[in-house]
Amino acid sequence: MTDLAFRSAVDIAAGYRNGGPSPIDVIYDLSSRIRQHDPDLHAMIAFEPEAVAAEARLRARELAAGTDRGPLHGIPVAIKDIVDIAGTPTGCASAATDGHVAKADAAVIERLRAAGAIIVGKTNTHEFACGGPSFDLPLPPARNPWNLDHHPGGSSSGSGAGVAAGFFPLAIGTDTGGSVRHPASACGLVGLKPTYGLVSRRGVFPLAQSLDCVGGLSRTVVDAGLLLNALVGVDPGDPSSTAAPWTDCLSDTGKDLSGIRIGYVRHFHEEDLHADPQMAKALDRAADLLREAGGTVVDIRLPPLEAFFSVNRVLLSSEGFAIHAAMLREKPEAYGALARRALLAGAFLSSDDYIRAQKLRTQLIHAVETCFSEVDILLSASSMEPPSRLDDPIETRRTYTRQARTPFSVTGNPALTIMSGLSASGLPLSVQLAARNFAEPLLLKVAAAYEALRGPLPHPPRYA
Amino acid sequence: MIVEHEAVMRAATAAGLDKAVKAFPQDLIAAAAAAKAFRDGLGGPPAPSDEPWPPMRVAAVS
């Protein structure tokens, strides 16, 4: 077994084209890691080594024959188990789906296949992408590669755990209130929630359609951009699908941030909530690094976090209940307790609550748009503390309200979380960057500059 | 968060959640408490003229 585990997608792709390990070698290596480590990590819900190896052979043959599908050709990508892959179950980590087998690929799978990616398998998730880490589901919850006793974040928990453990360089997640960015923060990764509507959700089991986004998890900023480039595209099958005004979100990854104005949203973690001092220090350090790169960093205020959080939760609960109402009436016992409680909340919200939340959402969108007339990028906290212990459900539940990810789920703006360092206990710290709608190229440029100045960080010791 | 047990069960029954009322009353209590907290976080009523988001848009006819 060679050591390919922590190579970036960019490095793996370069190797394919200059005599390095082939897609077959890469998949052999990564499959061995998954078989060795997943029994403890529980990142995977479905993994069929023979099928994945066959896909690797196909991609290798294509490359040998001169058919190069681009930067993701032969790159392993894992898929959250609420996304349809034709002929395989979309279980949503739930007994309630009753072995439903997808008839067609989701739009993102179609795009990944067209780009030559190797679909590695299905990753673990909170049940129906809501609730929290549960021990009463068909499979146990994923664990954090930095410390198996800790929560890897969610709901795209297996996608985060698997990328952090070196199972694959890229994974697909979904984000309705932070479910790509939370595992990215908890597992020390880059998590990118694109602008609402930029990536089609056709074939993805919905949680709350006015909030749902498909996003990616990776270990580097450039890998996040490569994945997004492959996913972006208008799709008539998704009513919210919108065209991107660009063709390459990595068109400018120069490290000079001169002329770029960055608004530092301190009050999220200093007033609205009080972050762990290590997280606060990491945010101040990030502001310093962005200044060092030439950016102009100023303090800026958004509406209070509670307003964003309440709007997010009223919309999520109401829309989620509407989706699940029939199943909750018919077979509530098929759900785990956490998802059942989360979804049932919608039964106690009225049309008045829902419309009030949408009206407040309009005001919040205007407030954020106003800020983006003064600055180009927002810097804020993502999580307020390092990940909680999995055996502490009260603390885990508390951390779901102690975060600053919901603002950009509510407004639809693109947002990215990135590892900023390690806590004294060896768990990841993170920061969040957000941009105007469809400004992913600028978001990735600033994130890449931060990543370069921050410098390399270690991988989880158990897997390095 | 305190919510009134009987009122919660009545609301759940009205929503067709009879099975949950029988099997998972504590989940319904927890869900109702969460909903109350979310609702309270929205603050006061908005101006009647505020348009919900996303606004209704008619399609063009060619």
| pLDDT score of B62 more than 70 | no
Closest CB from B17, B45, B54 relative to A356 = B45
Closest CB from B23, B24, B32 relative to A348 = B32
Closest CB from B20, B31, B38 relative to A314 = B38
**Interchain pair A313, B36: CB under 8 A:** no
Residue B20 falls within a domain, yes or no? yes
Could you tell me the residue ranges of all domains in chain A? Answer: 9-454
Nearest one of A100, A81, A93, A150 to A339, comparing CA atoms: A93
Beta-sheet pairing, A170-175 with A76-80: parallel
Residue span of the structural domain in which B26 resides: 5-41
Chain A residues inside the 8 Å CB shell of B46: 356, 359-360, 363
Chain A residues inside the 8 Å CB shell of B20: 328-329, 332, 340, 344
Model pLDDT for residues A150-177, shown as the tens digit of each residue: 999 999 999 999 999 999 999 999 999 9
| pLDDT score of A244 more than 60 | yes
Two tokens at A7?
A: 């190579």
Residue B30 falls within a domain, yes or no? yes
For residue B50, what pLDDT band results from cuts at 50, 70 and 90?
A: confident
For residue A1, what pLDDT band results from cuts at 50, 70 and 90?
A: very low
Q: What is the CATH number of domain A9-454?
A: 3.90.1300.10
Q: Which residue of A has its CA nearest to B27?
A: A341
**Interchain pair B19, A358: CB under 8 A:** no
Residue B29 falls within a domain, yes or no? yes
The Cα of A453 is separated from the nearest Cα of chain B by a number of Å equal to 39
Gap between the Cα atoms of A458 and A226, Å rounded: 22
Mean pLDDT across A196-201 = 98
The Cα of A341 is separated from the nearest Cα of chain B by a number of Å equal to 5
Q: Which amino acid is at A181?
A: R
Apex A9 CA angle, A255 and A106, nearest 5: 115
The Cα of A330 is separated from the nearest Cα of chain B by a number of Å equal to 7
Gap between the Cα atoms of B62 and B46, Å rounded: 37
Model pLDDT for residues A353-363, shown as the tens digit of each residue: 999 999 999 99
Report which of residues B62 and A327 the model is more confident about. Answer: A327
Closest CB from B12, B28, B42 relative to A360 = B42
Report which of residues A302 and B52 the model is more confident about. Answer: A302
- The answer to whether A446 and A257 have CB atoms below 8 angstroms apart is yes
**Interchain pair A347, B12: CB under 8 A:** yes
The Cα of A329 is separated from the nearest Cα of chain B by a number of Å equal to 5
Catalytic center residues of A: 80, 155, 179
Gap between the Cα atoms of A223 and A193, Å rounded: 14
Give residue B49's pLDDT: 87
Peptide bond just before A194 cis, omega within 30 deg: no
Peptide bond just before A430 cis, omega within 30 deg: no
Residue-averaged pLDDT of chain A: 97
Contacts of A188 (CB under 8 A, 6+ apart): A146, A164, A419, A422, A428, A430, A457, A460
Model pLDDT for residues A304-316, shown as the tens digit of each residue: 999 999 999 999 9
Interface ipTM: 0.92
Total tally of structural domains belonging to chain B = 1
Residue ranges of alpha helices (H) inside A147-296 are 157-164, 181-187, 221-231, 267, 277-292
Model pLDDT for residues A363-394, shown as the tens digit of each residue: 999 999 999 999 999 999 999 999 999 999 99
